[in-house]
């Protein structure tokens, strides 16, 4: 598959590094020189460029920007029509008060950020995933705890898109658990805020709540 990243921070690097060699990776954003720097770190096979290219040239788009500017970044990439038919992975957590010690999640008229993104790009297939762990966890090969694979929760309304994301989760070495429709992002985002609060209190960066379950069979 062709996977584009809007953003070039730690999460983009951590996840892209797990899929390089398996898929065609494109790093994009409004600062192409930063996209180029990450692409070079990931390997010669990784493409890079602007925001619109990252969306136009790929089937799956990972929103790896700060949560405050995610819609702005999507607008810079071409607006809602640019995302039509794309699988769109939202890994953001809207916790705007972290710097002030406020770990409460922001909602958008009672809905999640993922749902706001889906409203902005109604023809995209939004899946909430990969938001529960810090970048360092995704760099583990594989992410295992006490000999058991990390469980990754995800949700979305389109079954084809969710099947794609489930496969990407497996390729990180994790197990996938489908929570259901995109409205369940209203649970995932506050749950991630708890993890963020624990991290800022000095807990180990591998803190992921108790989302590990034994293998079946």
Q: In this predicted structure, what is the pLDDT of residue 207? A: 62
Q: Are 181 and 196 in contact (CB under 8 A)?
A: no
Residues 33-53, mean pLDDT to the nearest whole number = 95
Taking the C-alpha atoms of residue 67 and residue 75, their distance in angstroms, rounded to an integer, is 14
Q: What is the pTM of this model?
A: 0.90
pLDDT tens figures, 75-123: 999 999 999 999 999 999 987 666 667 667 777 888 999 999 999 999 9
On the question of pLDDT at 210 being above 50, the answer is no
**Domain map of the chain by residue range?**
2-200
On the question of pLDDT at 48 being above 60, the answer is yes
pLDDT tens figures, 114-156: 999 999 999 999 999 999 888 888 888 888 877 788 889 999 9
Q: Are 63 and 92 in contact (CB under 8 A)?
A: yes
On the question of pLDDT at 205 being above 80, the answer is no
Q: In this predicted structure, what is the pLDDT of residue 72? A: 96
On the question of pLDDT at 215 being above 60, the answer is no
Do β-strands 151-156 and 125-128 pair in parallel, antiparallel, or remain unpaired?
A: antiparallel
Q: In this predicted structure, what is the pLDDT of residue 35? A: 96
Instruction: Tell me phi and psi for residue 146, to 5 degrees.
Output: 55, 35
On the question of pLDDT at 70 being above 70, the answer is yes
Cα distances from 81 to residues 70, 87, 127, 173, in angstroms, run 16, 13, 18, 33
Q: In this predicted structure, what is the pLDDT of residue 87? A: 98
Q: In this predicted structure, what is the pLDDT of residue 211? A: 53
DSSP 8-state symbol, 21: T
Strand partners, 3: 25, 60
CATH architecture of 2-200: 3-Layer(aba) Sandwich (3.40)
On the question of pLDDT at 193 being above 90, the answer is no
Q: Are 132 and 153 in contact (CB under 8 A)?
A: yes
Q: In this predicted structure, what is the pLDDT of residue 18? A: 95
Q: Which residue has the higher pLDDT, 208 or 156?
A: 156
Cα distances from 210 to residues 39, 51, 149, 195, in angstroms, run 34, 36, 12, 11
Q: In this predicted structure, what is the pLDDT of residue 209? A: 56
Q: Which residue has the higher pLDDT, 181 or 145?
A: 181
Q: In this predicted structure, what is the pLDDT of residue 184? A: 96
Q: Are 12 and 62 in contact (CB under 8 A)?
A: yes
Strand partners, 175: 151
Q: In this predicted structure, what is the pLDDT of residue 74? A: 97
The full 3-state SS of 70-105, as one line of letters, equals HHHHHHHCCCHHHHCCCEEEECCCCCCCHHHCCCCC
Other Cβ atoms less than 10 A from the Cβ of 5: the count is: 32
Residues 23-34, mean pLDDT to the nearest whole number = 95
From the number of C-beta atoms within 10 Å of its C-beta (0-12, 13-18, 19+), residue 102 rates as: exposed
């Amino acid at each position: 598959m062709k996977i584009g990243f809007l953003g070039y921070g730690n999460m983009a690097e951590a996840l892209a590094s797990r899929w390089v060699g398996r898929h065609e990776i494109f790093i994009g954003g409004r600062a192409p020189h930063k996209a180029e720097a990450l692409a070079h770190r990931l390997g010669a096979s990784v493409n890079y460029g602007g925001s619109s290219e990252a969306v136009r040239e790929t089937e799956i788009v990972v929103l790896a920007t700060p949560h405050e500017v995610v819609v702005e970044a999507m607008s810079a990439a071409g607006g809602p029509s640019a995302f039509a038919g794309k699988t769109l992975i939202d890994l953001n957590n809207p916790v705007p008060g972290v710097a002030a010690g406020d770990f409460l999640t922001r909602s958008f008229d009672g809905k999640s950020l993922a749902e706001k993104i889906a409203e902005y790009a109604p023809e995209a297939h939004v899946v909430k995933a990969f938001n529960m762990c810090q970048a360092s966890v995704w760099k583990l090969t594989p992410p295992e705890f006490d000999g058991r694979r990390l469980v990754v929760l995800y949700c979305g309304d389109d079954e084809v898109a969710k099947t794609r994301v489930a496969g990407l989760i497996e390729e990180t070495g994790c197990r996938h658990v489908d929570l259901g429709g995109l409205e369940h992002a209203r649970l995932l985002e506050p749950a991630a805020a708890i993890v963020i609060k624990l991290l800022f209190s000095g807990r180990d960066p591998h803190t992921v709540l108790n989302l590990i379950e034994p293998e079946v069979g």
